[in-house]
Homo-oligomer: A and B are copies of this chain.
Amino acid sequence: MTAEEFRITTLGKPLLDSPLKECAFIKEGSSVVYETDAAVLKEYVDRGEEIPAFEQAGPREKIFHDPAWSRAAILTAGGLCPGLNEVIKFLTLTLKQRYKVPVVYGIRYGYRGLNPAYGLSPLMLDEQVVDGIHEEGGSILGSSRGEESVEVCVDTLVRMNVNMLFCIGGDGTSRGAHAIAEEVKRRKLSISVIAIPKTIDNDISFIDTSFGFATAVLHAGKAVTGVHNEASGAYNGVGLVKVMGRDSGFIAASATMANPFVNYCLVPEVDFNLEEGEHALLPHLVERLNRRHHAVIMVAEGAGQKFFEEGKEMRDASGNILKKDIGLLLKERITRYCKEHNVEVSVKYFDLGYTIRSVQAEGSDAIFCGILAQNAVHAAMSGRTDMIMGHWAGKFTHVPITLATRARKKIQLDSPLWTSVKSITIF
């Protein structure tokens, strides 16, 4: 990495005094190093290179937008995630109470709400509207998937006189925010576009933690107890539990550590086989059943997708095509394999699915949402744009959208998390 890649775009020089009182302003230039090993950092200096570091987030003494003339807009896009309402609440409170921004629009159903064709008028957000919403899961704005024309979106922002847009969403949403920021730049407008990363899979690069993930893990972990009870409550019982994680297995791995009743943790990052070959699950499972008479298997939805590419794996005992659900496939294959090998088995399948993402954020996760949202407002007010809010080495940071969306974060197989998972599971 080079320091250059971490550079944040601004709309212009912040010249106005911040209206915040008694506030610990972050000095312009404050940063958070990308690498934290002292020896590595010394090498950069010794080579005469700038140390790669994120810009540190926080309130600035000088701001760019005049609050009295400002109009902010907030949207949520993509799937639900714990904490959406908490973020909306803190964006609104910070804009209205601290910066005295007079108008905060709540855009309905993601980018769709910026397209007048849908006829979705925005909510007017204020203290009364957001009071108590932090105790509700979901998003009071509604969410949606899919893209809208960037031109149409920017037209709407211009027509509504919006100069700060907060886009809460995943990869696609961030890319959409980047496209809007580019169009804004092309038109030489002064609209700050701030992305707030929402990924229940915690799979955004250059961001160590994203909101909602901890709550998802909390609930996934709790659910494992029931899975374990079903497994141990039956003779040769197998508790099989599927969690979200299309490309990254962070939830699966974390829930395994959070409630260490899991014996097999299957994630997209690690290859495995069923009947034969290296890391063959089924013979190993049978061996364990014979020895311990129960087992718990945690599987991320994106694990074992290769089995759907081979024709022979895609059909159940009746010859029906399975719908690419690795949980259902495993249930089917475990049952069939045990039958073929005359091993009694009772598979209980739990698909946690949306259960762990449609709840409110709580505890530390809720705190994270609150401070994250406050910092997003600070970033916008100071004129930052085309950036996404990050968190690194214990601090909130600013990250260029293009850097964050370059590649999806995956479990590092030599990380403490995965090393720990491996140490308490079978493979």
Contact = CB atoms under 8 A, between A and B. Distances in A.
Interface of A: 3, 22-24, 29-33, 36-39, 41-42, 45-46, 50-53, 56, 58-59, 80, 89, 93-94, 97-98, 109, 112, 132, 134-139, 142-144, 208, 214-215, 217-219, 221-223, 225-230, 232-235, 254, 257-260, 316, 318, 320-321, 323, 348-351, 353-355, 358-359, 362-364, 366-367, 370-371, 374-375, 392-396, 413-417, 419-420, 422-424
A135 B45 CA distance: 48
A218 B362 contact: yes
Contacts of A89: 260
A363 B218 contact: yes
Contacts of A39: 29, 31
Contacts of A375: 416
A260 B226 contact: no
User: Which residue of A22, A89, A234 has the most chain B CB atoms within 10 A of its CB atom?
Assistant: A234
A111 to B, nearest CB: 12
A394 B396 contact: no
B350 A355 contact: yes
B366 A259 contact: yes
Contacts of A366: 221, 257-259
Closest 7 CB pairs of A and B: A24-B414, A218-B363, A138-B229, A226-B358, A393-B393, A38-B53, A38-B51
A30 B37 contact: yes
A123 to B, nearest CB: 14
Given A137-B225, A258-B363, A320-B320, A370 B420 contact: yes
A364 B364 contact: yes
A364 B217 contact: yes
A36 B38 contact: no
A364 B254 contact: yes
Given A362-B218, A371-B416, A230 B354 contact: yes
Interface centre among A38, A223, A318, A417 (most CB of B within 10 A): A38
A95 to B, nearest CB: 12
A326 to B, nearest CB: 15
Name the residue among A132, A139, A354 with the largest chain B CB count within 10 angstroms: A354
